[in-house]
Amino acid sequence: MMPSLIVTSTADLDKAAEDAFLTEASSAVASGLGKPESYMLVSYTRSNMRFGGSEGPVAFVYLASIGKIGPDTNPKVSATISGLVEKHLGVPSDRCYIQFVDSPGSNFGYRGGTF
């Protein structure tokens, strides 16, 4: 359950572009993880950033999930996320880091309890 995709980038998106990115990312990442989209949380924040000491398009993506994170799933999901980040944010894959976190359910609160 509970996949969370937190994207921070230098891309300055208007509301329509941000909504398109969030909608496609929610569906694609939930599918890639084999998780129901009804539990998927996706956010986007614009921020000033540097990569390799230089300005330009940059993104940092944090993906946390209870299960489904590991060497079998991560390469496919990484390719999916990188493609979405390039398509919607204009950030090439060589200027984007993705951090995968497999977390126990006891570390995520929901509905006043934990998973």
Q: What are phi and psi of 111, to 5 degrees?
A: 55, 40
Separation of alpha carbons 42 and 61, rounded Å? 10
Give the count of beta carbons closer than 10 Å to the beta carbon of residue 88. 20
Pairing label, strands 96-102, 59-65: parallel
- Could you confirm whether 92 is annotated as catalytic? no
Which of the residues 3, 57, 75, 104 is marked catalytic? Answer: 3
Decide: 61 and 5 in contact? Cβ < 8 Å.
Answer: yes
Q: So which residues are the catalytic ones?
A: 3
